[in-house]
Amino acid sequence: MIAYIFKRLLVAIPTLLALIVISFLMMHAAPGGPFTQEKQLPAQVLANLNAKYGLDQPIWVQMGRYVWGVVVHFDFGPSFVYKDRTVNEIIAQGFPVTLSYGMTAFVLAVVVGVTLGVLAAVFQNSWLDYVAVGISIGAQVLPNFVMAPILVLIFTLWLGWLPGGGWEGGDWKHQIMPVIAMATAYMASIARIMRSSMLEVLTLNHIRTARAKGLPTHKVILRHALKPALIPVLSYLGPTFVSMITGSVVIDMFFSTGGIGKFFVDAALNRDYALMMGVTLLVGVLTIIFNLVVDVLYAWIDPKIRF
């Protein structure tokens, strides 16, 4: 197992390098640059800016410097747009925010989604199944950009219970709506995957055996059915976890959380090269790590899987 993890981590290095090279080239291939603007800068001013940010160098030199900065100094460079801040500072400020509401939303989505899915499968075609499926379909068709304004309308404007946005250091009142808006759609997907996988597991021989020897239903489910039924959910959870903790542009923009999610789109639109590379690498590294975690978890859940 240790050898397997070590091997996977080694493979991650060329993967990340490829990610850097491809992102770097694609980013520079896009028309316009960080200082392209309607109110054009005079040539000399533009030249000074390009020199300051190293954009006057050939692209391979720029890339080499970037990789060197990241690997040797763990320095992701200065933001080209947010001039008072470095990319390290922006990520250090925004990532804890999305990590906080993303983790809570993840736990909520998993707990509620798995519970709904299991209940729906066990009581298939009963009213409970219809309610659970109804909720998850309803949640699926309510994307977060619809969900967020509805929540604000109800809880801020009509009831006056919750603040309409802001973060205030992660105060719970400020977290409720972002968490719900983010968790809903994921919860619905988890519930659907869980339901169908559980239905399949429930027809397997070892479940029939467990029932035949007289085990009560809840024990059959918890002891024998849940673990194998979780495998398809688990493969969904790896990438989901990463996309949840890196936030969402909709949530960050709508609730003004100050999270990192907003920068995925902003940095690209602004051609803020360094920030765009920074967030891309952040997601890349997290994806590699959590795919590995999921693979390790497979082995724990299903003893048949060996590395």
Binding site residues, another protein, CB under 8 A: 30-33, 35-45, 48-49, 51-53, 78, 81-85, 89-90, 93-94, 148-149, 152-153, 156-157, 160, 163-167, 252-259, 262, 269-271
The distance of closest approach from Cβ of residue 34 to another protein in the complex, given in angstroms and rounded to an integer, is: 9
**Pick 230 or 275: Cβ nearer another protein:** 275
The torsion angles phi and psi of 161, rounded to 5 degrees, stand at -85, -35
SS3 category, 183: helix
Shortest distance, position 175 Cβ to another protein, whole Å: 14
Least Cβ distance, residue 275 to another protein (angstroms): 12
User: With respect to another protein, which residue has the nearer C-beta, 40 or 209?
Assistant: 40
Question: Residue 80, by phi and psi: left (phi above 0), alpha (psi -120 to 50) or beta?
Answer: alpha
Q: What's the min distance (Å) between Cβ of 160 and another protein? A: 7
Closest CB 282 distance from another protein, rounded Å: 16
Closest approach, Cβ 291 to another protein, in A, equals 29
- 232 or 258: CB nearest another protein: 258
Tokens of 269: 């639109």
Distance CA 76, CA 183 (A): 31
148 vs 245 by CB, closer to another protein: 148
Could you tell me the two tokens for 270? 């602004």
Contacts of 212 (CB under 8 A, 6+ apart): none
- Enter the tokens of residue 16: 């990340």
- Are the beta carbons of 260 and 282 closer than 8 angstroms? yes
CA distance between the termini of the chain: 6
Q: Which is nearer to another protein, 60 or 161 (CB)?
A: 161
Residue type, 108: L
Minimal distance, residue 77 CB to another protein, in Å: 13
Q: What is the dihedral of CA 22, 290, 257, 141, to 10 degrees?
A: 90
Query: Which residue, 83 or 304, is less far from another protein as judged by CB?
Result: 83
Cβ closer to another protein: 79 or 189? 79
List alpha helices for the chain, DSSP H.
Answer: 2-29, 43-52, 59-73, 87-122, 127-140, 144-152, 172-202, 205-212, 217-219, 226-245, 249-255, 261-270, 273-301
